[in-house]
Chain A
Amino acid sequence: MPDASKIMISIQQVGKTYNKGKVQALSNINLEVAKGELFGLIGPDGAGKTTLFRILATLLQPDSGTATVNGNDVVRDYKAIRSTIGYMPGKFSLYQDLTILENLEFYAAVFGTTIAENYEQIKPIYSQIEPFKHRRAGQLSGGMKQKLALSCALVHKPELLLLDEPTTGVDPVSRQEFWEMLQLLKESGLTIVVSTPYMDEARLCDRIALIQKGNILSINTPQGITDSYAENLYAVRSDEMYRLINDLRTLTGVSTCYAFGEYAHVAEHTAIGLKKEDIQAFLLKKEHKNIEINRTPATIEDCFIALMKE
């Protein structure tokens, strides 16, 4: 356990339900984020990521448990927290009929500051859209909107940045650019918590929490998570992918088989000890053509699938 002065976020036994207790959004979440960390909340829609962000942003109170941001309690000290965090909600929530500059000035004014005062903080991102500062937010491309939203979240020089699914629905090029921006911000010392349903983005974080249906499945470094994958994993392909997957699922010893790009990932119960040769023989018997079988390291998505099955 690192000492308290190095902790940015501490969440203990936090639970939250909606709809008079019918929907369990979060159940007994425990989580710590150190100062300067780039921390990822990785999970699909409905995992509870947004609820967790809203609790940290003091927009929602937990039903149970406690959470602190930089030592301040999210319920008791909410005012102190609000001035020290930058929150970018999942839905674009800037003023569409204000220009880039007007939006930014507004956000600065709300926090009692000015663009000039914190220009250095926003410069790496804002400078990219500054040539268009008189354009209305509603007329910007997706990538520019994102840069504006990030600039607005940074303009009061927060210590903690909360980014709720900034890359959902965004194409691979814009996603890559966005993560490059996050690396720049991390280097400036900012603590960042970012959520994403794209599992390939997990490896860009210092540590991640895999989250599903209000429960944390695992917290570790991306490497730590993939290293702890317990089964043997094979990447298999043949000319008929769909039939291949269905056939492999019937093979004794195979625990799961799912498509991963051009290969099917076959997870195997280590207790049974299925060999590459066994899979080969099985597929030949099923008359598959151009069979390729290799041992493969687990990806975050393999780990997520394995944890979901538990």
Chain B
Amino acid sequence: MSKKTIITTQNLTRTFGAFTAVDAISFEVYEGEIFGFLGANGAGKTTAMKMLSGLLSPSSGEATVVGCDVYKQAEAIKRQIGYMSQRFSLYEDLTVDENIQLFGSIYGVKKKELADKTEILLDQLEFKDQRKTLVGALPLGWKQKLSFSVAMIHEPRLVFLDEPTGGVDPITRRQFWEMIYAASAKGATIFVTTHYMDEAEYCNRVSIMVDGKIAALDTPKNLKKQFNASDMNDVFLKLASTSKIRAI
């Protein structure tokens, strides 16, 4: 793996009134890696992700994402990344086909190219018979796979996935991760959050946020060694228990 960075942050901070949601985090994400961004509920993950994807301005600190400054070039960041939120983000009352056309157009994919991509995408997902189906009628796991494909339609170098597999059945959850592997193998950088600790093992590197700070960052193997833990769940429990704001 090349060590070219695609995300660099330096003391990145965001406060809401007296509350510091993200507290001077400094880290790097390398081009092409699968980066797991973990933390307890309320640790600051979503706020950090919003800043990195150009949706929220930081209070202080620096960050560069896909070569763009998060303060001055937020719009350029949004155009170059893919984003899939934890709540399903396609239009339920549009068909599979219509959703692909809509998001493809929003991301400026050319008409001819979009038509070709749509066929490939539907083929890969084995969705050909579903193209006229309303997205609202699809099972959750299918929606999530479609949502990921749509987030990748403009071939972004970097994609943010916010809890993409919550509630998804065990087979589809693994198929989803195989889609992530495939995208990564083609060179895309994946930035992903999850509450399934087995999925943390599938990442090249993992960071764990506690109380707005990055409390640990390394490969799953090294983290397990560092915390003398049998698995990533154990690592997580050991780190999250150090939280000060998590009194109850």
Measured between beta carbons, the chain A residues less than 8 angstroms from B185 are: 242
Contact of B241 among A173, A198, A200 (CB under 8 A): A173
Q: Number of residue pairs across A and B with beta carbons under 8 Å?
A: 102
A169 touches B201 (CB 8 A): no
B197 at the A/B interface (Cβ < 8 Å)? yes
B174 at the A/B interface (Cβ < 8 Å)? yes
B140 touches A174 (CB 8 A): no
Measured between beta carbons, the chain B residues less than 8 angstroms from A199 are: 170
Q: Which residues of B (146-177) have their CB < 8 Å from a CB of A?
A: 163, 166-172, 174, 177
Measured between beta carbons, the chain B residues less than 8 angstroms from A176 are: 237
B140 touches A44 (CB 8 A): yes
Give the size category of A's interface with B: 35 or more
Q: Mark B225-248, 1 if CB is under 8 A from A, else 0.
A: 000000111001100110000101
B171 touches A245 (CB 8 A): no
Contact of B168 among A45, A212, A301, A304 (CB under 8 A): A45
B67 at the A/B interface (Cβ < 8 Å)? no
CA distance A262 to B220 in the complex (A): 9
Q: Mark A39-55, 1 if CB is under 8 A from B, else 0.
A: 00001111100000000
B248 touches A169 (CB 8 A): no
Q: Say yes or no: A305-B195 contact (C-beta < 8 A), given A173-B236, A242-B181.
A: no
A169 touches B163 (CB 8 A): yes
Residue with the highest number of chain B CB atoms closer than 10 Å, among A147, A197, A304: A197
Contact of B248 among A47, A129, A175, A258 (CB under 8 A): A129
Q: Say yes or no: A172-B170 contact (C-beta < 8 A), given A46-B140, A141-B42, A242-B178.
A: no
B195 touches A171 (CB 8 A): yes
B41 touches A171 (CB 8 A): yes
Contact of B41 among A129, A141, A308 (CB under 8 A): A141
A173 touches B40 (CB 8 A): yes
B17 at the A/B interface (Cβ < 8 Å)? no
A143 at the A/B interface (Cβ < 8 Å)? yes
Smallest Cβ distance from A242 to chain B, in angstroms? Answer: 4
Q: Mark A256-270, 1 if CB is under 8 A from B, else 0.
A: 001111100000000
CA distance A178 to B246 in the complex (A): 14
Measured between beta carbons, the chain B residues less than 8 angstroms from A304 are: 169-170
CA distance A172 to B233 in the complex (A): 7
Smallest Cβ distance from A106 to chain B, in angstroms? Answer: 22
A144 at the A/B interface (Cβ < 8 Å)? yes
A241 at the A/B interface (Cβ < 8 Å)? yes
CA distance A265 to B67 in the complex (A): 39
A143 touches B41 (CB 8 A): yes
Q: Mark A88-106, 1 if CB is under 8 A from B, else 0.
A: 0000000000000000000
A259 touches B237 (CB 8 A): no
A173 touches B171 (CB 8 A): no
Q: Mark A289-310, 1 if CB is under 8 A from B, else 0.
A: 0000000000001001100100
Smallest Cβ distance from A125 to chain B, in angstroms? Answer: 11
Measured between beta carbons, the chain B residues less than 8 angstroms from A189 are: none
CA distance A119 to B2 in the complex (A): 61
Q: Mark A197-241, 1 if CB is under 8 A from B, else 0.
A: 111100000000000100000000000000000000000000001
Measured between beta carbons, the chain A residues less than 8 angstroms from B202 are: 241, 259
- Chain A interface residues (CB < 8 Å from chain B): 43-47, 128-129, 141-144, 147, 165, 168-176, 197-200, 212, 241-242, 245, 258-262, 301, 304-305, 308
- Chain B interface residues (CB < 8 Å from chain A): 39-42, 86, 139-141, 163, 166-172, 174, 177-178, 181-182, 185, 195-198, 201-202, 220-221, 231-233, 236-237, 240-241, 246, 248
Q: 17 other contacts beyond A175-B195, A304-B170, with CB at 8 A cut-off?
A: A45-B140, A45-B169, A46-B140, A129-B248, A141-B42, A147-B248, A171-B40, A171-B195, A173-B236, A199-B170, A259-B198, A259-B202, A261-B201, A262-B201, A301-B170, A304-B169, A308-B169
Pairs A–B under 8 Å by Cβ, sample size 13: A44-B168, A44-B170, A45-B167, A129-B248, A169-B163, A172-B40, A172-B197, A172-B240, A173-B246, A241-B202, A242-B178, A261-B197, A262-B231
